[in-house]
C-alpha cells in the first residue's frame, strides 16, 4: 500500500513538472514569435534579394502567410510546431498550410479538405538556403553536444582533483594559487578566454602545441579527397568552455570535503585508527560530491546554450556558428528554431534533474 501511494505521488510529481515545462515552452514560443514578428524586416524581400519586384514579393508573402493577421500567423506557427496538427489537403490558401514535401506525417483523422496528422515539428525553412531548419539544427547540434560533454568532463575530472588537493593542503601556497585561478576562471568571460587561448596556444605557441586557431570536428584534407576526424580541434574550445564550471567544481569540492571532515562520524573513524587516506576516499568523497553533482547538472544545460561565442571564435561548426551566421543574414527561421531547439533541451534537462531529486528525496516528491 505504501509503495502504491509512493508511486502515485511520484507520477503526480512527474506530470506536474512536465506540465510546467509545457507552459514554459509555450511562453518561450510566444515570446520568440512576437519578438521576430515585430522586427522591422521583410522576409519576402530577404528571400528575393536585390532582384525583387512588387508582384513576386506579394506572391511570396501570400505563400508564407505573411499577408494574414498576426494572430492567424501565430496559430499557424503553433500548428507547424505541434506534433499533432491540422493538414489541409486542398485549400492551400488556409493558414494551416502544410506541404507534403515538408512533412513526413501519419494521418489520424480525415475530413473533406483537411486531416488531423501526426508529424515531426516543422521549424519552417531557411530564407537563405531554403533547407528545413530542423535539418540544419540536427547537423549542428551533435557537435555542440560533444563540445559541452567534453567540457563538463574536463571540469569534473580536473576540478574534483584540484578540489581534493586544496582540501588536503588547506591554507598552503597550493590552496591560495588554486583559489586565485578559480576566482579568475569564474570572472573571465568565455569570449575573452576564447580569444586569449586562441592567441596564446594556437598562435604564439603553435609550433609547440600543434593546435590551430580554427577548425571543426572534421577537416578536409589538402587534396580535397575527403574529410577526416580531427579531434585536436576540440581541445582549445573544450578547455575554454570548461574553465567556469571547473572553477565552480574546485570550490564546491574543497568546501564540501572540509564540511564533511568536520562531521562526528569522521571523528569516530579517526578514533578507530583509520588512515587519513581511507577516511578521505571511503567515507568523505561519497557524501562530499552531492553538491558537485547538482552543480554539474545545471552547468551541462548552461554549456549547451552558452557555447555560441566560443564556437564562433574557434569556427567550431556547431549551433553557435549557425546562430551567428543566421543573425548576420537576418535568417529569422533559423534563429527562431535555434532558440526553441535549445529551450526544449534545457527544459528536458531541468525536468530530468527535478525527477531525480524527487526520487532521491521523498520530501521533494511529496511536494513538501
Which domains, from first to last, does the chain contain? 49-126 (no CATH), 133-328 (1.10.3720.10)
* Helical residues (DSSP H) of the chain, grouped into ranges: 2-37, 43-48, 54-64, 70-81, 133-168, 173-187, 190-199, 206-209, 235-261, 264-271, 276-278, 285-288, 290-306, 308-314, 319-328, 332-360, 362-365
Average pLDDT over residues 282-297: 73
Q: Taking 60 as the threshold, does the pLDDT of residue 1 lie above it?
A: no
What string of DSSP letters covers 55-93? HHHHHHHHHHTTTS-HHHHHHHHHHHHSSEEEEESS-TT
CA 242 to chain centre: 14
Contact by Cβ (8 Å): 334, 326: yes
Reported as a pLDDT band with limits 50, 70 and 90, residue 256 is confident
Torsion of CA 267, 271, 274, 275, to 10 degrees: 70
Contact by Cβ (8 Å): 187, 179: no
Q: Taking 80 as the threshold, does the pLDDT of residue 287 lie above it?
A: no
What pTM was computed for the model?
0.77
The per-residue pLDDT for range 77-124, each reduced to its tens digit, is 888 888 887 776 554 444 444 454 555 666 666 666 677 777 888 888
The per-residue pLDDT for range 39-89, each reduced to its tens digit, is 666 666 666 655 666 766 677 666 666 777 888 888 888 888 888 877 765
Task: Quote the CA–CA distance of 296 and 293 in Å, as a whole number.
Answer: 5
Amino acid at each position: 500500500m505504501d509503495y502504491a501511494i509512493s508511486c502515485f505521488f511520484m507520477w503526480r510529481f512527474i506530470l506536474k513538472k512536465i506540465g510546467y515545462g509545457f507552459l514554459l515552452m509555450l511562453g518561450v514560443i510566444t515570446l520568440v514569435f512576437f519578438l521576430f514578428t515585430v522586427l522591422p524586416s521583410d522576409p519576402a524581400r530577404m528571400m528575393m534579394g536585390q532582384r525583387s519586384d512588387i508582384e513576386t514579393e506579394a506572391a511570396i508573402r501570400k505563400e508564407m502567410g505573411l499577408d494574414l493577421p498576426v494572430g492567424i500567423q501565430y496559430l499557424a506557427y503553433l500548428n507547424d510546431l505541434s506534433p499533432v496538427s491540422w493538414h489541409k489537403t486542398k485549400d492551400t490558401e488556409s493558414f494551416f498550410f502544410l506541404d507534403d514535401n515538408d512533412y513526413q506525417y501519419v494521418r489520424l483523422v480525415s475530413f473533406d479538405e483537411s486531416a488531423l496528422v501526426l508529424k515531426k515539428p516543422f521549424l519552417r525553412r531557411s530564407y537563405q538556403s531554403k533547407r528545413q531548419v530542423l535539418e540544419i539544427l540536427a547537423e549542428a547540434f551533435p557537435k555542440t553536444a560533444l563540445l559541452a560533454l567534453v567540457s563538463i568532463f574536463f571540469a569534473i575530472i580536473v576540478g574534483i582533483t584540484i578540489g581534493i588537493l586544496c582540501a588536503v593542503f588547506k591554507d598552503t601556497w597550493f590552496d591560495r594559487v588554486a583559489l586565485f585561478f578559480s576566482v579568475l576562471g569564474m570572472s573571465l568571460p568565455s569570449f575573452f578566454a576564447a580569444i586569449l587561448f586562441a592567441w596564446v596556444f594556437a598562435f604564439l605557441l603553435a609550433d609547440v602545441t600543434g593546435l590551430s586557431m580554427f577548425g571543426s570536428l572534421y577537416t578536409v584534407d589538402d587534396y580535397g579527397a575527403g574529410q577526416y576526424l580531427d579531434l585536436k580541434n576540440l581541445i582549445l574550445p573544450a578547455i575554454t568552455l570548461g574553465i567556469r564550471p571547473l572553477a565552480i567544481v574546485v570550490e564546491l569540492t574543497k568546501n564540501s570535503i572540509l564540511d564533511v571532515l568536520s562531521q562526528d562520524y569522521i571523528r569516530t573513524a579517526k578514533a578507530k585508527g583509520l588512515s587519513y587516506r581511507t577516511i578521505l576516499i571511503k567515507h568523505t568523497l561519497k557524501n562530499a560530491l552531492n553538491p558537485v553533482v547538482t552543480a554539474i547538472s545545471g552547468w551541462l544545460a548552461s554549456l549547451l546554450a552558452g557555447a555560441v561565442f566560443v564556437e564562433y571564435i574557434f569556427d567550431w561548426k556547431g549551433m553557435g556558428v549557425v546562430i551567428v551566421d543566421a543573425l548576420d543574414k537576418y535568417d529569422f527561421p533559423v534563429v527562431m528554431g535555434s532558440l526553441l531547439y535549445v529551450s526544449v533541451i534545457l527544459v528536458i534537462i531541468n525536468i530530468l534533474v527535478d525527477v531525480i531529486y524527487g526520487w532521491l528525496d521523498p520530501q521533494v516528491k511529496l511536494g513538501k
